[in-house]
Chain A
Amino acid sequence: MRKDEINLSSPVAVWKSQELCDGKVVPTLVVILRTCGCAWSRTSGCTMCGYDAESVSNVSEEDLDAQVARALSAHNSEPVVKIYTSGSFLDLREIPRPAEVFQRFLDKGAQRIVVESRPEYVETSLPLLEKSGRKVEVAMGLETASDKIRSLSINKGFTFGQYAIAAKGIKKAGARVRTYLLLKPPFLNERDAIEDCSRSIDAAAKMSDVISINPVNVQRGTLVERMWKRGEYRPPWLWSLLEALRRGHAAIPKDVMLVSDPSGGGTPRGVHNCGKCDGRVLEAVKRISLSQDAGALSIESCACRQSWEAMLDVEPAAMTTIDLARHVREGSPDAEDD
């Protein structure tokens, strides 16, 4: 769709899903509002994020009101409502009157509202969060606990310290904290990706009510996409996601939820295995996310697990993070792709 054809009075997307809320699996409404988008993506941007494609500069307050109204009309008393933008909900340039949006959904019976924001917009939003209390959950994309990886692999533009201050502020205001972690940022091999994710789960657990692992999916117009097209990036294996979930559940306190709802799972651009076992592994990921029962992880293996294990071993010795399997598969080992 061309940008001038976009209907500014419609949200980017509205869909229904499920969510574990206070120990129960409940229906969820997910709304993506079209806003002027992420300020960081306009000045610099993250290596894996292509969401700025969904943003337009000329969204008026009236347009936003109309989008919210449409989302509200889709709300059918789902207890959990996720209101996302392709940036930060708490950035007043994107959502000038966040309190009003909260109120309209709370009035329709929402019991929990999840929004996303970069940490820099949290401080000015604390009075708003204090007012809404436990009904609001703020999700922040920490991505990794390592400042080095966040800076060099992701170009996220904030530190763990800044995230931690924001998280403490949110909790102090009485709201909930959700932390996103990125599984396999570029320039990490598979083994380090798992290792980085596990360490990050440990660090984020101290700050969060919910930790959500987002395996990288290859989005358009990103550095990650260019690397992927050149055969220099492979999205994480589903086995790696399972491994990160397994290690995380063993390590973190019971009152912290650890979930994953991968986008593009089982496709070449998303977290994937060999293609034969992807469905059942994704099913296992969903099961554990909704049950928080690590026992749900035990799953029938697949021949590709041996390949995954071999890659975990060989990649560090090969001192590369290119997609080695694709490299050797492409006819002759040195045939050039695209």
Chain B
Amino acid sequence: MLELGERHWLAKAATWDFGEAKIELPNVAYFTSPGVKPPEYAVLTCGPGGALSHSGSTLSPDGLYEGMLPPFSPMPLLREDGAAIDAKGSVCLLQGKGWPDGPLPDAELYVLVNAAELWKRPRELARRLARFSDLAPCESALYAPGCATPANLALLLYCGVGLVDDTLAHVAAASGISMGHEGSLPSEESMDDLLAHNRRELHSELKKALRYMKMGRLREYAEYKAGAGPLSCALLRHVDLRHYGSVEAHVPLEGPKFRANTRASLTRPDVVRWHERIMERYRPPEAAKILLLIPCSARKPYSLSRTHALFRSAIQRSGAGGVVHEVIVTSPLGAVPRELESFYPARHYDIPVTGDWDREERHRALALVEHIVKVGSYSKIVMHLDVEAEFFRALDADASTGGEDATSAKSLDALAAALKEAAKGLERISSRQREVADLAGLARFQFGEAGDSLMRDCTTRMGRGHVQILKGGEQVASYREERGMLSLAPAGGKILAESGGYCVKIDDFEPKGTVFVGGVLDADKDIRAGDDVAIMHGTEVRAVGVARMSGPEMLRCKRGEAVKTRR
């Protein structure tokens, strides 16, 4: 039996009943043989004397040596007599060209045979890891033997590997190599000393990666570790660029603060999801006629920063507040409309601020802003930027007021004057009207088109620490800045249900507290962990709640919490 614990994207903590033992995953299986004892911290062993044993060559050249002479047919284990793998649980070997495309037989532990060969082919490894995450039962783990080092372990875990071995630590020891967290160095130490050292390094790296996983920041750590070698770097890039969909489905809609320090931060799936939602879902508030581009601040949400307080006071002075739409240009998110500034991950990222933008960052920010301009109904564009003004020149803004220093009194005065000028002849919009329009933009960002139905003809009312959203006097949702997104009320759930989005269909029972996957009949594939959803039986909405896993996972998992209902 394999019981799932905390998940972090593709990485899963689990407890695996392995024979008599309970093995916490992710973990390292330590190679053991009559001559080699496991270290004292080992909880699982592999090899001829180990719990996970395997004998024989396993290479399945098919799919790995394509285009190389001569043509091969699918090759099973070469060893005809030996047991493939002798484990006391339900184990399935993943090998051959066929497996990534067909359905997987049910098992608890899947063995990525020839993981060492795959490690040298990061594109293919990424493909297989992504396919595994698409196809494997939730309650399973992936064992990748022969490829883990202290330098790549965190990355392997990030990609969904739950179990590795220490065989490379043995090979390195036999080859006079001392393994380190960032790579390896030749060493004069004895084979026994090197083995002990290499194993300790692997063990301490496992502990470190698990700590990051617990913090929900494994991605950040994996990004950092990807710098340890070209293959690590390539693997992360392939997973990001070619298998975004397979990973994104497992990324919750909320998370802790993180640092976007590396180039790979630009392709974090939660960051890419932001880009995609801006491009595919987002609509600027119709009432907003003046697009104002401003720089980001280190403090989040931006509006709590000193610089943004200055910008906002200039906007207020201009008297055009109701028609100005502030869009913050930033990296790696590209563009953050003010009304989304608390939506994950806009409030959660931290970047090194030097004023240098690389081509990719510029391209992304410009593309998003251009899109916002295209779908908005702006009559004027004002830029109040620092260095960024340069690469938004293509927008042909009506005014650019950032000057040398966007926070100087002179620039701020220029901003207020430019906005006042731009607002001439525009209809005045009350701040209450504008608030509704902003929340409508947020609803669309959060729920897609169903968000439009939710917010149609709504009004707002200040509650205690939150904004209530009412339709015909009945509350449909509320907005709390700390959460940065809308929380559904039962009436809102009904509207979502009518428009067909963000619904979880359950069996005939009264959902209270937690809905477990066993009770789920169907779930919208767009749902992500952290999403607000409507819980329905038939056509009747029985509750609203927060998803604990993605829609596809609710259908694939055998156990676990699907939705926490909202009282």
Contact = CB atoms under 8 A, between A and B. Distances in A.
B39 to A, nearest CB: 15
Nearest to A330: B184
Contacts of B80: 146, 148
B391 to A, nearest CB: 35
Contacts of A332: 151, 182-184, 228-229
Given A192-B78, A324-B171, A316 B151 contact: no
A324 B146 contact: yes
A325 B172 CA distance: 7
A334 B230 contact: yes
Contact of A307 (B59, B73, B175, B232): B175
A336 B165 CA distance: 21
A187 B64 CA distance: 12
Contacts of B149: 328, 333-334
A306 B78 contact: no
Interface stretch (A98-106, A109-117, A161-169, A226-234): A226-234
A319 B229 contact: no
Contacts of B179: 328, 333
Contacts of B120: 230-232, 322, 327, 336
B551 interface: no
Interface stretch (A75-83, A149-157, A200-208, A259-267): A149-157
A329 B146 CA distance: 15
Interface string A281-325: 000000000000000000000000011001101111111111011
A126 interface: no
A268 interface: no
A310 B170 contact: yes
Contacts of A27: none
Contacts of A310: 170-171, 173-174, 191
Interface string B449-486: 00000000000000000000000000000000000000
Interface stretch (B14-22, B50-58, B209-217, B518-526): B50-58
B58 to A, nearest CB: 5
A188 interface: yes
A44 interface: yes
Contacts of A334: 119, 149, 151-152, 228-232
A45 interface: yes
Contact of B171 (A153, A189, A321, A325): A325
Interface in A39-54: 44-47
Given A320-B117, A328-B177, A328-B184, A189 B57 contact: yes
B61 interface: yes
B69 A223 contact: yes
Contact of B174 (A46, A187, A222, A311): A311
B168 interface: yes
B151 A313 contact: no
Interface in A155-205: 155, 186-189, 192
Q: Specify which of B35, B53, B114, B151 lies most central, judged by the most chain A CB atoms within 10 Å of its CB.
A: B114
B59 A223 contact: no
Interface in B149-206: 149, 151-152, 165, 167-168, 170-175, 177, 179, 182-184, 191
B75 A316 contact: no
A152 B59 CA distance: 11
Contacts of A152: 61, 72-73, 75, 78
Nearest to A325: B175
B68 interface: yes
A250 interface: no
A335 interface: yes
Nearest to A46: B70
Main SS of chain B's interface residues? loop
Contact of A314 (B61, B111, B171): B171
Nearest to B50: A317
Contacts of B305: none
B78 A187 contact: yes
Given A187-B59, A187-B75, A333 B230 contact: no
A331 interface: yes
Interface string A41-73: 000111100000000000000000000000000
A236 to B, nearest CB: 13
Q: Specify which of A192, A227, A318 lies most central, judged by the most chain B CB atoms within 10 Å of its CB.
A: A318
Nearest to B34: A313
A329 B58 CA distance: 23
Contacts of A226: 68
A62 to B, nearest CB: 33
A192 B57 CA distance: 7
Contacts of A324: 116, 146, 167-168, 171
Given A152-B72, A332-B184, A334-B152, A316 B171 contact: no
A307 B151 contact: no
Contacts of A314: 31, 47, 167, 170-171, 174
B47 A148 contact: no
Nearest to B173: A310
Interface in A120-162: 146, 148-149, 152-153, 155
A318 B69 contact: no
A223 B57 contact: no
B116 A322 contact: yes
22 contacts: A45-B69, A188-B59, A188-B78, A230-B120, A310-B170, A311-B171, A314-B170, A314-B174, A317-B31, A317-B54, A318-B165, A320-B115, A320-B116, A324-B116, A325-B171, A325-B175, A328-B149, A328-B184, A332-B151, A333-B177, A334-B228, A336-B230
Given A332-B182, A332-B184, 20 more contacts: A146-B80, A152-B61, A152-B73, A153-B78, A187-B78, A306-B191, A310-B171, A313-B35, A315-B167, A317-B31, A317-B47, A319-B116, A320-B59, A322-B120, A327-B168, A328-B149, A328-B172, A333-B172, A333-B229, A336-B231
